Amino acid sequence: METLTQSEPARWELYKLLAEPLRLRLLALAEVEELAIGELAELLRESQPNVSRHVKPLKRAGLLVVRRQGTRALARLATDASRDPVVADALASGRQLVTEDGSLSRVAALVADRDRPTRAYFESASEEGLSGLAPELPAYLTALAPLLPRRKLAIDVGTGTGRLLDLLAPIYQHVLAVDRAPAQLEHARARLERAGYDHVELVEGGYDSPELLERARALGGADAIFASRVLHHAPRPAEALRSMAAPLAPGGSLVVIDYLAHHDERLRERQADLWLGFEADELKRLATQAGLEAASVTPIPSARCGGGPDGHLDWHVLVARRPAG
């Protein structure tokens, strides 16, 4: 924000910059949510090139932070922008403008619609990837289970066809498996019946499902919650991580497996990915914002990630703990 504290000519440049109503509306929307340039254009009912043209000077002035996700550019209000009284006044005017034109009220619906392709993708319930792991693996995991100090309850977020349940069910005394696609849950149910796991409950809903939270609390809270390749489908990753962590018991751990940040745009089409992975520091920051501690991120090289459509990517795993107190 050096631009905002320089000499008098710089102040005049700031006044000139903020004299354009469209820029005021841009700032106000970017304060509410980090939005792609295309999303801003849709909300403001302006062309994308015109929005980009106005975003650039706001970025140069340090008022907007713009980051790239593949071919997309996302803009948000700089953290300390509103400390400047001129900018604070401009934001107040911008909020009034976007309230009057209705663009502010459309933000929530736009964000909620981000995962529409994801929903359609998982509702298709493809048969691909339904084959199980090595048939003797559950026996080995059952033998290892007593070595774990906390194994009363695990939650599998976004269980899909239940592949991770082949690993969790032999270890944990009780497992809650949640997914919002009924077609996927039917495949998971068939998998459980074949394996004879009667201590796994299937819950229809998302990671923020009240039913899931209520059931987990009734069981004393989760010792571990697993979210494998779920976060890159979340419209709001920070909010998703907070919701995922909510059912944890004190001292319980959240385990998030996802992609390292990449540039393969094909995955948006192939599997309805919303975000192209995450940097390790970003995952740690999200964990801290969710009230978790002792966050660590461990890389998983692509050689260990199978032969699926995302098997060429490097993955990593975030592990963070809810404070024991």
Look at residue 228 and give its three-state secondary structure: strand
Domain co-membership, 228 together with 197: yes
Which of 60, 76, 105 is at the close of a domain? 105
Query: DSSP assignment, residue 156?
Result: E
For residues 175-208, one letter each, b for 16 or more C-beta atoms within 10 angstroms of the residue's C-beta and e for the rest, the string is bbbbbbbeebbebbeebbeebebeebebbeebbb
The pair phi, psi for residue 200, each rounded to 5°, is: -110, 125
Assess whether pLDDT exceeds 50 at residue 209. Answer: yes
Q: Is 257 inside any structural domain?
A: yes
**pTM for this predicted structure:** 0.80
The answer to whether 55 and 75 have CB atoms below 8 angstroms apart is: yes
Q: Is 225 inside any structural domain?
A: yes
User: Half-sphere exposure of residue 322, counting CA atoms within 13 Å on the CB side?
Assistant: 20
The predicted pLDDT at position 254 comes to 98
Look at residue 162 and give its three-state secondary structure: coil
Cα(42)–Cα(37) distance, integer angstroms: 9
Query: What DSSP string runs through 173-210?
Result: SEEEEEES-HHHHHHHHHHHHHHT--SEEEEES-TT-H
Assess whether pLDDT exceeds 50 at residue 48. Answer: yes
What tens digit of pLDDT does each residue of 146-172 get?
A: 888 899 999 999 999 999 999 999 999
Domain co-membership, 14 together with 40: yes
Domain range for 53: 2-105
Cα distance from N-terminal residue to C-terminal residue, the chain:
38
Average pLDDT over residues 114-128: 79
Which of 53, 79, 105 is at the close of a domain? 105
Read off the pLDDT band of 131 (50, 70, 90).
low
| Structure tokens, 287 | 């964990």
Instruction: Give the total number of structural domains in the chain.
Output: 2
Cα(285)–Cα(135) distance, integer angstroms: 38
Q: Is 188 inside any structural domain?
A: yes
Query: DSSP assignment, residue 81?
Result: G
Can you give the C-alpha Rg of the chain in angstroms?
23
Cα(38)–Cα(74) distance, integer angstroms: 9
> Which domain CATH number covers 13?
1.10.10.10
The answer to whether 201 and 178 have CB atoms below 8 angstroms apart is: no
Domain co-membership, 221 together with 148: yes
Q: Is 112 inside any structural domain?
A: no
Query: DSSP assignment, residue 115?
Result: G
